[in-house]
Amino acid sequence: MKKTMNRTYGRLITAIACILLITGPLSAQYHQVATLRYRGGGDWYSNPTALPNLVRFANEHTGTSISTQVATVEVGSSQLFNYPFVYMTGHGNVVFSAQEAENLRNYLIGGGFLHVDDNYGLDPYFRREIQKVFPEYELIELPHSYPIYHQTFSFPDGPPKIHEHDGKPPQGFGIFHEGRLVLYYTYEVDLGNGWEDQAVHGNPEEVRLKALRMGANMLQYVFNRQDL
């Protein structure tokens, strides 16, 4: 009986998600992004100036109209469905409960989008926990021809290298559900460091500009796509 109720609840949440995300343009919340708060001890709050800076840049250069008031939303919260674009970062451990994994799954298959940016050290924990969300899917590297790299700004070589970690090449991975990109994962890239105020990391302006342009492409891709 309990399993049946859980399945029914899951279907209901998915239906509500579709309604919220499809009718989103009629509400102010549609034009807001959020940072994902998760459990496990990892610093989900890293790069606090990153998203506001990115949103301002995207609004100025790509024509988006997104609030610079960035929200914080917990993985298991129903409020997650208010935000078409959610950002996840950090350096350490991540833990999703069964309820949180189901909520995140319903959000993503219902029309939401998650960008995960490894801030160095997140990778093994994120890969473990995303299997709870999508056990049937694998992270696959996006071809450099994929549209997320070719919006207002073009990145013919894929995601730009912003911050050196282990000397590995930058990579962008995705998870697709029914042909739609629902999750984009940047590894050995560290876009968030480039989005932050210049004084925080001291990145050269040309490096910050690469990060901001790639981030603006992501926002443009999500907010302008036709399947919301």
**CATH number assigned to the domain with residue range 2-224, chosen from the 4 options 3.40.50.12140, 3.40.50.1000, 3.40.50.300, 3.30.413.10:** 3.40.50.12140
Distance between CA atoms of 11 and 9, rounded to whole angstroms?
Answer: 5
pLDDT, residue 167, reads 84
Rg (CA), the chain: 17
In the chain, where the domains are located:
2-224
Phi, psi angles (nearest 5°) of residue 172: -125, 120
Q: How far is CA 64 from CA 17, 126, 136, 149, 226, in A?
A: 22, 29, 34, 17, 15
User: For the chain (length 228 residues), average pLDDT per consecutive 10?
Assistant: 46 48 40 96 94 97 94 98 97 97 98 96 97 98 98 98 88 97 97 89 89 98 74
> Which pair of structure tokens corresponds to residue 212?
């901001």
- Please tell me whether the overall predicted TM-score, pTM, comes out greater than 0.85 for this model: yes
pLDDT score for 85: 98
Terminal Cα distance for the chain, rounded: 34
CA dist 161 to 135, 142, 156, Å? 29, 16, 13
Could you give the CA distance from residue 176 to residue 179 in angstroms, rounded to a whole number?
6
